Amino acid sequence: MPSPLPPHWTVDIGLRMRRHFLLKLVGTTAFTWLFFIGYFELLRHPVFEVTVMPLIALDALVPFTPSALAAYLSLWVYVGMGPGLQYTFRELVVYSLWISAMCVAGLVCFYFWPTAVPARNFDASGYPGFALLQGVDAAGNACPSMHVAAAMFTMLRIEQVLRDARTPVVLRALNLLWFVAIAWSTLATRQHVALDALAGAALGIAFAVPSLRWRPRATGPLAHRADRISSGTTRITQR
């Protein structure tokens, strides 16, 4: 009797997205809310003197681009995809612990070393959305950029899921491009300077890489089907 084929990658991704959907939605929203409580508290009441981050050559290569605001704001959709693609409750919990640890590390940096970007040399008030952005996400708590850190962590974790699910290469390329767009937007909107972004990328890698090493065994739909096929084969052989 031929073994059943493993599910198509679309089935794998679809099942991942539907599993614990409400928990993921509520949990991600609550986590983001809690993070911003700490973020804004440190932003508005720094304990130590605020350091203005210096510019480097890379900053001059990225011009102010108002349209980059869309990519900047897309982070809040992108970060939800990381937990959204976790298959089991255990995977979701472990993922949440790792990204929480990364955010706590970022807040610790902001506490002991508050930073800000240099004062703008242009008027952004005429560009839609920038006044709101300044009111919600003022250009303090600059280094490391938690925008880039969260995007880097998410990109590496999504890449692993897409590889496990055997998705087309184009989806993995789009995942990388989305991260690049978000990282670029932090400079193009002048919310961060290059050193902030580089430090954020390093922070994201520092937590994403060990999170891939120390995580529950791959238990997505493909792995579950493989286990069932293996168990069925073993039982047939024993008979």
Decide if 4 is inside a domain.
no
Cα–Cα distance measured from residue 151 to residue 182, given in angstroms and rounded to the nearest whole number:
7
Sign of CA pseudo-dihedral 92, 101, 158, 214: negative
Decide if 3 is inside a domain.
no
The helix/strand/coil state of 236 is helix
pTM: 0.84
Decide if 35 is inside a domain.
yes
pLDDT per residue rounded down to tens, the chain (239 residues): 444 555 688 888 889 988 888 999 999 899 888 988 888 888 888 888 999 999 999 999 999 888 889 999 999 999 999 999 999 999 999 999 999 999 999 999 999 999 998 877 766 666 776 666 665 556 668 899 999 999 999 999 999 999 988 999 999 999 999 999 999 999 998 889 999 999 999 999 999 999 998 877 655 565 555 444 344 444 434 44
- The pLDDT assigned to 67 comes to 86
Q: What angle do CA 55, 57, 59 make, to 5 degrees?
A: 60
Decide if 181 is inside a domain.
yes
- The pLDDT assigned to 173 comes to 97
The range of the structural domain enclosing residue 84 comes to 9-238
Identity of the amino acid at 236? I
Identity of the amino acid at 151? A
Backbone region of residue 141 per phi and psi (left: phi > 0; alpha: psi in -120 to 50; beta: other values): left
Give the chain's largest Cα–Cα span: 79
- The pLDDT assigned to 223 comes to 55
Decide if 190 is inside a domain.
yes
Nearest to 54 by CA among 114, 113, 112, 117: 117
Nearest to 35 by CA among 69, 5, 72, 79: 79
For residue 238, CA distances in Å to 109, 201, 233 come to 59, 52, 9
Give rounded-to-5 percent helix, strand, coil for the chain. 70, 0, 30
- Cα distance from N-terminal residue to C-terminal residue, the chain: 14
- The pLDDT assigned to 10 comes to 85
Total domains in the fold of the chain? 1
- The pLDDT assigned to 45 comes to 85
- The pLDDT assigned to 40 comes to 84
- The pLDDT assigned to 238 comes to 46
Backbone region of residue 194 per phi and psi (left: phi > 0; alpha: psi in -120 to 50; beta: other values): alpha
